[in-house]
A and B are shown apart, each in its own frame.
Chain A
Amino acid sequence: MQVTVRYLAAAGAALLALAVGSQTVEAQALDRILKEKKIRITAEVTSPPFGILDKDNKPTGSEVETARQLAKDLGVELELIQVTGPQRIPALLSDRADLAISSLSITTERAKTVWFSSPHGALSIVIGAGKNVNIKSAADLAGKKIGMTRATLEEQVVPKVAPPGTNIVFFDEHSATQQALLSGQVDAIGGAAFLINELAKRNPDKGIETKFTVMTAFYGIAVKPGNFDLLQWVNTWVFVNKQNGVLAKIYKEHTGVDLVDLPNL
């Protein structure tokens, strides 16, 4: 009888330890990062100006530099996890990355699967096309082929404003979408205004211009649901760097535009 009680007590204690242990493992993302002295952040290198390869083919861009700044402030080494657009969130969910800093616009749809920090930047989604393509508003999209990348904000919003008769095609990532426009495979593309401007600048002979704005959005840093501590630190970091102008500096440097006032989440 004594043995049984002791045995049950030991088993009970073990189970309790397991339960508590597994829960505390969840909440320790920040501690783990600090212990390993390394943080892994997603980097999308085919999304100018947020993420690009510079002339030495090293990753840079406003989001990549933001990631660098964050890692520096946290005092850990940065490991950039190169991802394509549709992989930004899956990389987070599968623990391939700790943070997603890749111009992830804050939407309620995405909030079902990831947790956002307060926004650290803003962008607008526009339709871009060559100058001889006649598009002045959403109604003109009818009968045209519009390309865009999967798992982006434009994928969510453009189909809503496009009239019936618009042929929307999807590519697996930005580089393919951009190439489709430049090679004339699509009449227009949906994307961030900055991206269209970059495209226009890099290819002056194509005469690409922004036709109209679909919507504006704020983007933030995303963490995997459950990482309270990490999210709390990131929010604090965003707050501090909003006040000291560092975020605005990085933003202006890469986008050429002043950062608007960022609300809190």
Chain B
Amino acid sequence: MRFFSVNDFLFILAATRWTVLLSLLAFALGGLLGVLVAVLRIARFAPVRLAAAGYIQLFQGTPLLMQLFLIYYGLSLFGWRLDAWTAVTIAYTIYAAAFLGDIWRGCIQAVPKEQWEAGRALAMPYRPQLFLIILPQAIRIAIPPTVGFMVQLVKATAVASIIGFVELTRAGQLMTNATFQPMVVYPIVAGLYFALCWPLSVWSQRLEIQMRVENAIGRQK
């Protein structure tokens, strides 16, 4: 039996970079897609709105593991030769876009209606209203929940281990197999995730408090 050695710990640590990479990719690409989803979700044209709402409902209302299986096994049926990284990145991007789109839609709608009306009073058409007045304010509101979602995303990458994708959790499985010391390996894996996520959580909470304070001060003026 191989005892858990420094080598094995380094293997797990090295795999952490795949977790980080996947999270960043999904966040960046999902963020781009999410902006589109959020904007479409509040479109004035009803079918577009419904389509965006349907997309959000579908990917928020089904298990991530199912989405992964479908994209990993299923997309290739349409003739696409996807390697593991591409398939997984696509899956997490779609997943992230649904959640971020929903969060950001909420933030856009949280911007007071008066702002829209002010834009209309200035004879601004819809798109400049949206992009010059509303979105900048929505972004401020959106920062705390977005950072909060980043935590969810990092944790969600663990599910990819089930399809054999090599990231932190899978590395833990492989090391447990090599050394058979689950009492040591899995808590270490949990600790590494904690190290990744907790700072983000703390930051998100701090941002939220900051915003509440700013809003309170703003209202008092």
Chains A and B touch each other in the complex, with CB atoms below 8 Å apart? yes
The answer to whether A94 touches B73 (Cβ under 8 A) is: yes
A197 to chain B, nearest CB (A): 14
Q: Which residue of B lies closest to A54 (CB)?
A: B178
CB-defined contacts of B11 to chain A, threshold 8 Å = 57
Tell me which residues across on chain A come within 8 A of B82, comparing CB atoms. 94, 96
B-side interface mostly: helix
For B2, B76, B77, B182, the residue with the greatest tally of chain A CB atoms inside 10 Å of its CB is B76
> Closest CB of chain B to A92's CB: distance in Å?
11
Interface residues of A in 75-130 (CB under 8 A from B): 81-84, 87, 90, 93-96
Chain B 4-23 interface 0/1 with A at a Cβ cutoff of 8 Å (1 = within): 00011001000000000000
B1 touches A90 (CB 8 A): no
Q: By the criterion CB–CB under 8 Å, are B180 and A175 in contact?
A: no
Please, could you name 25 A-B residue pairs with CB atoms under 8 Å apart, sorted by A? A45-B174, A46-B173, A53-B174, A57-B8, A57-B11, A57-B178, A82-B166, A83-B164, A84-B164, A87-B164, A90-B73, A94-B73, A94-B76, A94-B77, A95-B76, A95-B81, A96-B76, A96-B82, A175-B176, A176-B173, A178-B177, A179-B176, A179-B182, A183-B182, A205-B1
Contacts of A90 in B (CB 8 A): 73
Pairwise interchain contact A203-B174, C-beta atoms closer than 8 A: no
Interface residues of B (CB under 8 A from A): 1-2, 7-8, 11, 73, 76-77, 81-84, 162-164, 166, 173-174, 176-178, 180, 182
Please indicate the chain B residues that have their CB under 8 angstroms from the CB of A178 in the complex: 177
Known: A57-B7, A94-B77. A84 touches B163 (CB 8 A): yes
A57 to B7, CA, bound (A): 9
Complex contact B177–A179 (CB within 8 A): yes
Additional pairs, 18, CB under 8 Å, beyond known A84-B164, A179-B182: A46-B173, A57-B7, A57-B174, A82-B84, A84-B163, A87-B163, A93-B76, A94-B76, A94-B77, A95-B81, A96-B76, A96-B82, A96-B84, A174-B177, A175-B173, A175-B174, A202-B1, A203-B180
Residues of A within 8 A of B164 (CB): 82-84, 87, 173
Closest chain-A Cβ to B45's Cβ sits at a distance in Å of 37
CB atoms of B162 and A182 under 8 A apart: no
Of chain A, the residue at the smallest CB distance from B14 is A57
Is A261 at the interface (CB under 8 A from chain B)?
no
- Please tell me if A204 contacts chain B, counting CB pairs below 8 Å: yes
CB distance from B181 to the nearest CB of A (A): 10
**Residue of chain B at shortest CB distance from A182:** B180
Q: How far is the CA of A175 from the CA of B180 in the complex (A)?
A: 10
Measured in the bound complex, the distance between the Cα atoms of B2 and A227 in whole Å is 42
Q: Which residues of A contact B163 (CB under 8 A)?
A: 84, 87
Contact residue among B1, B8, B73 (Cβ-Cβ distance under 8 Å from A203)? B1
* Whole-angstrom CA separation of A195 from B160 in the bound complex: 25
Q: Is A258 an interface residue (CB 8 A)?
A: no
Q: Which 6 A-B pairs have the closest CB atoms?
A: A94-B76, A84-B164, A175-B177, A95-B81, A57-B11, A175-B173
A55 touches B182 (CB 8 A): no
